[in-house]
Amino acid sequence: MNNELKKTLGLSAALSTVIGVVIGSGVFFKPQAIYTATNGGPGLGMIAWVIGGIITITAGLTAAEVSAAIPKTGGMMVYIEEIYGKKLGFLTGWMQTVLFFPGTIAALAVIFAKQILELLGYNPDANMIMVLVIAIVTILFIAFLNTVGSSLGGVIQTVATVGKLVPLIVIIIFGFIKGNGNPILQPLVGPGATVGGALGQVLIATLFAYDGWINVGALAGEMKDPGKDLPKAIVGGISIVMAVYIVINLAYLWVAPASELAAATAPAALVAERIFGNIGGKIVTVGILISVFGALNGYLLTGPRVAYTLAVKKTLPFSNGLAKLNKGGVPSNSIWLIAILASLYALTGQFNLLTDLTVFTIWIFYVLTFIGVIKLRKEKPDLERPYKVPLYPIIPAIAIIGGLFVIINQLLTATLIALGGIILTLIGIPVYSITSKNK
């Protein structure tokens, strides 16, 4: 029996995967958080999309070296375990299980619910009970779909890809044709805001929109020539995403000023309505909803696999139940665990708060992964590396510095959110001690 992955992926398949994985909900909703942070100043927001893209490219290029050198299933949790030991590896998986995946799912469900209410003509802020009900029902419904089997997930992802590309293309083309032009780079920030004070906040917003790049390294084992094609796929794919993000944000600003985008729950929907009128705006909004639904499905498809992996190792409480597969061959108990946690997070009714929490926490572990590349180079120089990060150590240094800036800035400017993420993560230490003893 041959368990090795078939090396069938070329550059074009890898490129399209990068683009498909990274473009999600952030590009449609995050301009609101960005222009709120800049007090309606457009310039810093546009610059943040470029800086966020550069940090993401260096992050992808750096983490891919670890992915290629440690071609095991499990992603970042496995890399960190190999580099730093079992306890830190467990903490990575724990953080993803109790915080990153459920928190991100909750954020997407909340914005999905708010968008549905706006589509139906209700004010979401005045109907928070309806927002919470729709968000939780959506989470539980997608969880149920994923317990049936994984084949349906693939169909949803295909539909969602079309769903997110159509509004992007339509807004870009018609935004420039029908928009009347607004300031794009001046002023950098609005009255009362400072560049130094707002930079961290706008970066954490753009990094949410760029998230997903960590999954790209997993392709290394299936690529015909990862040494040559993986860096091209990462740089090319994220550069295309960055170009799309910059162009669509220019289109947003061309149609509506930054001060109005800051006041809109869904800037993309506001812009679509300005361009196409009420009916056309609603049609584009449906496309955005399909995209968010697909992102929700993607996180509920992948997140429970982390919980399941930890349960198989018997490092989670109730591991016996969480490690069970149902008749469809899916870890249904792990899916329900993530769905229930996500439903609890959704009770906050917050999109930006939840995404700030998850991005801050996941970036701590991303930075550990980048440092791990340097650590592995020193400790295991003879390790087979099908792909090496170019311009070493400059690229890893940029990724580390960029990540540390975001982490430290959040600690200083959004201390409660940051501490919440750290505490939830550190709860994993006593959990690991207890489950290790029980084993």
Whether the model clears a pTM of 0.95, i.e. scores above it, the answer is no
62, 389 in Cβ contact below 8 A?
yes
| CATH number of this structure's domain 11-438 | 1.20.1740.10
Chain-centroid distance, C-alpha 124: 24
pLDDT of 77 over the 80 cut: yes
3-state helix, strand, coil split of the chain in percent (to 5) is 80, 0, 20
| Residue-range domain boundaries for the chain | 11-438
> Could you read off the pLDDT of 250-276 as tens digits, one per residue?
999 999 999 999 998 889 889 999 998
Greater pLDDT, 18 or 363: 363
Tokens 């955005």, residue located: 288
pLDDT for the residue numbered 150: 56
d(CA 104, CA 316): 21
pLDDT for the residue numbered 5: 46
pLDDT for the residue numbered 31: 93
pLDDT of 3 over the 60 cut: no
> Could you read off the pLDDT of 367-419 as tens digits, one per residue?
999 999 999 999 999 998 888 999 999 999 999 999 999 999 999 989 999 99
> Could you read off the pLDDT of 157-213 as tens digits, one per residue?
677 777 788 888 999 999 998 888 888 888 888 888 888 889 999 999 999 999 988
Confidence category of residue 431, pLDDT binned at 50, 70, 90: very high
| 233-7-307 Cα angle (round to 5) | 80
